[in-house]
Amino acid sequence: MKSPSAPHASAFAFIAAMLAAPLGAQADDAPQCRHNEPREAAMDFDGVRIVRFEIGHHTLRVEGAAQPDAHLRGRACASNASALASLTVDVSRAGEVLTVKLGRASSGGVFGPRYAYLDVSGQVPADVLVQVIAGSGEAWVTGVAAASADVGSGDAELRRIAGRATVRTGSGDIVVEDAGELKLLSVGSGDVSAQGIRQDVEVGSVGSGDVELRRIGGDIRIGSIGSGDVEIRDASGSVRVDSIGSGDLDAQRVAGDLTVSSKGSGDVVVREVRGTVDLPRKR
């Protein structure tokens, strides 16, 4: 075997040094959490019907439980130790609404040269509505009665939602799996993927983003598709689209009817529709 060249030898030496270094030292030097402190906040759920999380650019994981642990726990991470004090978890109550706000505005990305963020998780009662308002943050919500996610450029996942999931995104990505019904208010340039929706799906507007709808138990109603794409697979009900601009609709395996009221330059692909297909006439 040939001996490695000088640059390769340097690379091998660096890797060997990293492997030989203590794991704790490597973790301490990780730029994404160079300085950290634990965070914990108590939540009183007595009489609460709505739990609202305002997370900004932070990270949140929430799970519904019959007997929830009434604490939110996690850690604050920052590139500068002096920034840790400003990373707060504030809990307030107004009637039946409990609001949790993850504090401090972003000063660069989580993995940028300067960063400060919170990463927290906890349980809530399984019978509440969970609302998440996220800027560039990330949220996971599982196992609650109903949930909503209003996302800017961040990401959200809603899973095992007994009732309605309501979502909206600008340039972020949203995943909804196993929900009673879905109301998708609007999609800008982001993407939304939904599957295992037991009842109806209502979509307001799709801009330049993409929407995937799979295994839908009820009807699908879409207001407008701009330049984005909508893909539908395995719908038990009917599909209706009010208008399509330059975007595309691809629908396969639809048990009911499929109707498109108006269409611009976009394409419509239809396969295996059991009911009536009603498309605008070509001009």
CA dist 188 and 167 (Å) reads 12
Q: What angle do CA 56, 42, 85 make, to 5 degrees?
A: 55
pLDDT in tens, 236-261: 999 999 999 999 999 999 999 999 99
- Rounded to 5 degrees, what are φ and ψ at 104? 80, 130
pLDDT at position 24 is 42
CA dist 21 and 225 (Å) reads 54
The answer to whether 208 and 190 are in contact (CB under 8 A) is no
pLDDT at position 134 is 97
**Residue whose tokens read 């295996």:** 272
Per-residue pLDDT of the chain (283 residues; tens, 9 = 90+): 444 444 444 443 433 443 344 344 334 434 389 999 999 999 999 999 999 999 999 999 999 999 999 999 999 999 999 999 999 999 999 999 999 999 874 444 444 468 999 999 999 999 999 999 999 999 999 999 999 999 999 999 999 999 999 999 999 999 999 999 999 999 999 999 999 999 999 999 999 999 999 999 999 999 999 999 999 999 999 999 999 999 999 999 999 999 999 999 999 999 999 999 999 987 6
pLDDT at position 281 is 82
CA dist 158 and 182 (Å) reads 11
pLDDT at position 28 is 43
pLDDT at position 283 is 60
pLDDT at position 82 is 93
CA dist 86 and 84 (Å) reads 5
**249 strand-pairing partners:** 230, 268
